[in-house]
Homo-oligomer: A and B are copies of this chain.
Amino acid sequence: MSERVVLAYSGGLDTSVAIGWIAEETGAEVVAVAIDCGQGGEDLDVIRQRALDCGAVEAVVADARDEFAEEYCVPALQANALYMDRYPLVSALSRPLIVKHLAEAARYHNATMVAHGCTGKGNDQVRFEAGLAALYPELRVLAPVRDSGLTRDRAIAFAEERGLPIDVTKKSPYSIDQNLFGRAVETGFLEDIWNGPIEDVYAYTSDPAEQRQPDEVVVTFTAGVPTAVDGKELTPLQVIEEMNRRAGAQGVGRIDMVEDRLVGIKSREVYEAPGAIALIAAHQELENVTVERDLARFKRGVDQRWGELVYDGLWFSPLKNALDGFVTQANEHVTGDVRMVLHGGRAVPTGRRSPASLYDYELATYDTGDTYDQSMARGFIDVWSMPAKIASLRDTRMN
């Protein structure tokens, strides 16, 4: 029996050509695996058929949208995951999901190899290969674009020679990766970092500068999981879709940044993630209400590290697991409602209520009748400032 390769298949030119390319290069049979992470576009059946038409011996397609929402997007939300304080890890979240399905398909189809279509200067190659190293280290990885010269020009030539059922004339100036949680755009003119993005690069969000009526929305969380919008109970997938729609309509979630790639270089990235950005804003504000101060302060560092690890391709790693334990525990009481105004590119919390609130009107109010014992303050300040005071006396003495 021939060896088998499972290929992360998108339906596009590169991976369609890769089916035949890999088969010729290795003599192995190719099993194409296409995963729906909410990227939209073609129907999964169409993609499946194309894989077969391009020479795959098997083509596996899976609607993993709920799984993606629940097991990848929700943990990111609970960690307020924003790489470099900006980017909600859109592509970085979907790669481990795809890896998990690739590993499962490889086991099911007795594959000895796995292939992806990433180049050698991006983060995704690391996310694929580090994930596979953790989940199925025995697989040999093929990366034809990076390692065996499958350039775009050669892909077009290959497709034309073989008469593959792919439209090679469609030529977008944009390189796009998108899923339920957001969308990334790269294109030549944005590689000049002084150039601003143009309206044409966006698809998930309307122009925030256009005039329209504000939209007010109430998001409900239960232990850090979004469970309802405007009082209507929804699955995490539905919440994200709904918030993509409504926040996107108000231009929320556009990001334009220079980013530190794992592979050692800085790159210019343009993203849009309307639902993610709005939901993180709501979640953070609910944390402000329900998470105790010391925990909140420490959690910022944990959240940052969580985001770096996931960005860096280490989703399946011992540190990620242990941070998940912390983050889940910290979200135990992040339950309640946040009311937000979505408008003009902004998602702004304006109200919050929670059965688990740590905000205590009686303690906080400046009205008469508050319950805060102000006489304690003097003692607190005396002890609080003592170390710096003693150090200051020392400094004076020494200088």
Contacts and interface: CB of A to CB of B under 8 A. Distances in A.
A227 to B, nearest CB: 16
A349 to B, nearest CB: 7
A179 interface: no
Contacts of A394: 290, 333, 356-358
B257 A285 contact: yes
A107 interface: no
B288 A349 contact: no
Given A263-B377, A328-B325, A197 B350 contact: yes
A398 interface: yes
A381 interface: yes
Nearest to A326: B326
A157 interface: no
A177 interface: no
Interface in A304-318: 304-305, 308-309, 313-314, 316-318
Copies of this chain assembled into the complex: 4
Interface string A354-377: 011111110111110010111111
B294 A134 contact: no
A192 to B, nearest CB: 7
A300 B295 contact: no
A391 B318 contact: yes
A46 interface: no
Nearest to A379: B379
Given A260-B296, A291-B318, A353 B385 contact: no
A95 interface: no
Interface residues of A, number: 128
A1 interface: no
A276 to B, nearest CB: 16
A162 B353 CA distance: 46
Nearest to A359: B266
Contacts of A256: 348-350
A289 B193 contact: yes
Contact of A264 (B134, B192, B325, B387): B387
B383 A263 contact: yes
Interface of A: 84-85, 119-121, 125-126, 129-130, 133-135, 137, 143, 146-147, 175, 186, 188, 191-197, 208-209, 211, 214, 254, 256-260, 263-268, 284-285, 288-301, 304-305, 308-309, 313-314, 316-319, 321-323, 325-326, 328-330, 333, 339, 341, 343-346, 348-353, 355-361, 363-367, 370, 372-395, 397-398
15 contacts: A120-B376, A125-B381, A134-B389, A193-B289, A193-B357, A208-B344, A264-B384, A267-B364, A295-B317, A298-B319, A344-B344, A360-B390, A363-B390, A376-B378, A376-B382
